[in-house]
Structure 1
C-alpha cells in the first residue's frame, strides 16, 4: 500500500466545539451515547483499508471476546482509504466511522474540524510507543490519536546483483552502476513528497505557518554554503543522468520486474513486490548522499506515521476509545507486522528480533534519523510538481536558475485562500 500523501482540500471550517476526551459526554451538537442499560448492544463502525480488512477483522473479534462480559457488540468494518479520511470526515463527520486509521499529516485538519477527541490514558500511550510516533499524534500538548505504525516514509530498494553495500551509500555511484549496466535508478522526481529529499538536509528551510494553511520557505536563498541555485544545478544533473528515470511511484515495482529498473525510492507498501522480484537479492537501506555545491549531502525524507482516531460524534465514544486502544496495543501491532509487514510504533514490538530481520522496516527506521514530519500547506504540492516537470524538461522555460527557484518558492508560499 502506498502511503504517499497527495494534495487535499484546505481546511475551510473550524469547529466551535472542543472535545476534551473520550470519557466526556456530548453537547447539543453531539449525538448522545446510547443508554446501554436499556440496550446492551454497542454499535460501532471501523474503517479499514482494503488490504487490511482480514487483519482488522481478527482484531475486532478478539476485542469482542475480551469484553464479552461487559457488553454485546455489533461492529461493522467498512473499506476506506486512509489517504481520503480527512476529505470524507470534513465533509460528513456525522456519518463517518467511530474508529478509523489515518496518516499523521491529517491530524491538524481533523482536530481543527472537531473530528477527533483527545485520548484518555495519554501517559500509557506515551510510554508504550516510539517518541516520534507520539509527537506525530500530538497537537498543542494533547494526544488526539493512538499511534499504530512507524513506517510511512521512504527509503532505497535495490538489487544486490548489481550493487554492493558501499555502492548504495552514494547516489552518484548508484546511477553510474545503473548506466553502465543499461539500467536505471527510479524515483517520482516531480512529486513534492519525494522532491523534499534533496532540500531537507541542505540548511534551507520549509515549514508551515501558524495559520496551519500557508508555508514559509527559503529554498531560493542566494546566500549560505548551499544556495537554491546549487540545488537546481544538482537536480538538473540527476535528471539528465543516463542512469536515472522519473516515474510514478506506483510504476516502480513493475519496472523492477521488467528489469529496466534495478534501484528505486519507495516505501514499505512495495516490500512484498520487491521481495517477490529480487528474492534473496532484495536489498533495502537508507537513502544515499548526493552531490550539491561540491559536497556530499545525506538525502532527507518526509517521515510518516499512522494512527487510530476516534470520531468525536460517535454515539459510543467510550467504547470507540477502547477499541482504538485495543487495535493499537502491543499484541495487535505484532499481528499487524506478522500479517501485513507494517512497521510497529510500539517500542517492544519495534525492538523484537522478528522486526529487526526485515530490511525494509530497518531501512525506514534508519532513514527517519535524517527526515522530518510532513507538515506543509497545500500550495506546496503543485509548486513542486511544476518545478520537477521543468527540471525534467531540460529547460528553464526562459528563466534563469534563480528565477526558477524564486518561482518555486513563490508557489510554495502562496495563499490557498481565494
Structure 2
C-alpha cells in the first residue's frame, strides 16, 4: 500500500513539474525564434542617406541608369563625380582620403590596385560566389591582390587581330598561316602584317603563349621572386618574334618609341593588310575609310592562343567609407548583367560578364566579340608595384632581339637579372 502511494505521489510531482516547465519552454523557443529573425534582419546594415562615386570622365552616362535603379531598390541616394581614371582618381584619393573628403566607391585600372592597396586607400570586399561567377575568371583575377579581392570588374580591353577587308578576305586561324600570307603580301611599301613586338605590352602574348610568365601566380598572389621571362617558353616566344624581323616582314621603322605611330600610319593609309592592335585604334581606322575586320589573335605554332595582356577597369570600395556594406552592394548592382549591358550600349566598353559574350549585342558586334573572345585567353597585367621594374629592361631586350643584336636567351637573361636587381633595390623587404 505504501509502495503504491509513493509511486502515485511521484507521478503527481512529475506531472506538476512538466506543467510548470511547459510555458518556460515555449517562451524559450519563442525567444530563440525571435533571435533568429533578428539575426536575419540584421544582415543589412543601417542605410546611409547618400553614397558618393568617382567615375571615369565621359562615362557617367552609363552610370546614371544603374544609379537610378539602385536608388529605387534600396532608397539610398547616389552621387557621382567624373575624374580622369588613369591618374586623377588615384592622386585625388591620396589627398581627399586623409582629409575626410573621400568617396565611398571609385573606378580604377586594375594595374593600380597593388599600389593603392599598399598605400591603404582601398579595402578588401566580400561577395558571394554567385556574384564572382558572373564574370570571366581572368577579370576577377585582375581584381585580386595578395590573394584578396579588392573590386569587381566593369570592362576589359586587350589587343586583337585587325585586318583591312580590301586586302585580306578573312582572319587566319594560326600564326603560321598568317606568316605565309605575310610573305606573299609583303613587297616594297606594302606589308601583310605589322605588330610592334619590341613593346613588351604587345610582345607578352607570344612569350606567355609559349610558356613564359612575368610573376608566378599562386592563387591570386603574385610571387615577385619567381620571374618566368627567360624560361624555355619565353625564349621560344622571343625566337618566334625575332623571325618576323629577320625575314623582313616588319618595316624597320617600327622599332622604338615611334613604332606604334608608324604601324597606325601604314594601316590607315592602306599599306598594311593586318595589324595587332587594341580596340582603342578602331575609330581612327574607320575615320581613315578602312573597312576593318576584327578577330581574336591567331593561334601560335604550339597550338596555344596568344596570351595578350589584358587591362581591366573595376569598381572599388575605398578604405575611408563609413558604409562598406552598402558600398559593396552598390558595386555589385552596377556591375550586374543588366547594367553591364547598358554600359556597353552607351560607352562601347566591353564587360567581362560571361553571359553577355553570347548576347546578340556583343555576338553580332564583330569588334566586341573579338575582344570578348580574346579576353578569355588574356592575362591581366600584373598589379603589384614591382611590375614597374619590368617594362624598361624588357623593352631593351626586345629591341636587341628585333634588331638581331642579341640572341633571345642572352637578351632575356640580362633583362631578368636587371629586373631582379631593381626589385631588390627599389622594393626592399617585400
TM-score between both structures, scaled by the size of structure 2: 0.72
3-state SS of 1:303 partner: strand
* 1:62 Cα deviation from its structure 2 partner: 4.5
Say whether residues 1:145 and 2:151 are aligned partners: yes
**Within the alignment, does 1:256 sit opposite 2:256 as a pair?**
no
Equivalent residue number for residue 107 of structure 1: 113
3-state SS in 2 of match to 1:55:
helix
Give the Cα–Cα distance (whole angstroms) in 2 for the partners of residues 401 and 74 of structure 1: 53
Separation in structure 2 between the aligned mates of residue 199 and residue 324 of structure 1, nearest angstrom: 35
Pick closer, same or farther for the CA change 1:139–1:296 going to 2, 3 Å.
closer
Mapped contact 1:129–1:347 kept (Cα < 8 A): yes
Pair 1:404-2:414 in alignment: no
| Cα separation, partners in 2 of 1:248 and 1:49, compared to 1, 3 Å | farther
1:78 to 79, 82, 95: 82
Report how far residue 362 of structure 1 moved.
2.3
Instruction: Give the distance between the partners of 1:363 and 1:337, measured in 2 at CA.
Output: 15
Identify which of 197, 202, 206 aligns with 1:198: 206
| Corresponding position of 2:62 | 55
**Computing the radius of gyration over CA atoms, which structure comes out larger, 1 or 2?**
2
Work out whether 1:372 is the aligned partner of 2:379.
Answer: yes
Cα 1:351–1:74 shift into 2, 3 Å: closer
How big is each residue's C-alpha offset from its partner over 1:344-393, in whole Å with a ceiling of 9 and x where there is no partner?
2223333312211122232233334543332262221111111233334x
1:173-212 map, 5 Å: 173-180=180-187, 182-184=189-191, 185-208=193-216
The superposition leaves residues 228-263 of structure 1 with CA deviations (integer Å, 9 ceiling, x where unpaired) of 3x5544433323454424355577555433323332
Contact 2:209 2:306 (8 Å CA) reproduced: yes
Deviation track 1:188-220 (CA, whole Å, cap 9, x = no partner) reads 323221121221122344325889583533444
**RMSD, matched Cα:** 3.6
Give deviations 1:136-169, integer Å, cap 9, x for gaps.
33456643212222x3222111112212336463
- Structure 2 runs not aligned, ≥5 long: 1-42
Partner of 2:358: 351
Match of 1:133 in 2: 139
Partner of 1:238: 244
Deviation larger for 333-342 or 102-111: 102-111
Unaligned residue ranges in structure 1 (runs of 5+): 1-22, 26-32
Q: Work out the CA distance in 1 between the residues paired with 2:282 and 2:108.
A: 20
1:75-119, CA deviations, whole angstroms, 9 ceiling, x for partnerless residues?
Answer: 131222246655654676445543222233333333343332333
Q: 271, 294, 301: which is aligned to 1:284?
A: 294
Q: CA deviation at 1:176?
A: 2.3
> In the superposition, relative to structure 1, how do residues 415 and 355 fare at CA in structure 2: closer, same or farther (>3 Å)?
same
Paired residue secondary structure (1:288): coil
Of 305, 308, 317, the match for 2:315: 308
Task: Identify the match of residue 344 of structure 2 among 337, 355, 380.
Answer: 337
CA distance in 2, matches of 1:52, 1:389: 37
Report how far residue 43 of structure 1 moved.
5.1
Aligned pair 1:123/2:133, yes or no? no
Contact 1:213 1:378 in 2 (8 A): no
Over 3 Å counting, the alpha-carbon distance change for 1:100 and 1:262 in structure 2 is farther
CA distance, structure 1, for counterparts of residue 103 and residue 260 of structure 2: 29
Deviation (angstroms), 1:120:
4.2
Greater fraction of residues in helix: 2
Q: Check whether the contact 1:310–1:317 (CA below 8 A) recurs between aligned residues.
A: yes
Structure 2 contact 269–288 (Cα < 8 Å) conserved: no
Contact 1:159 1:278 in 2 (8 A): no
Normalised to the residue count of structure 1, the TM-score between the two structures is 0.74
Q: Following the alignment from structure 1 to structure 2, what is the Cα–Cα distance between the partners of residues 250 and 56?
A: 33
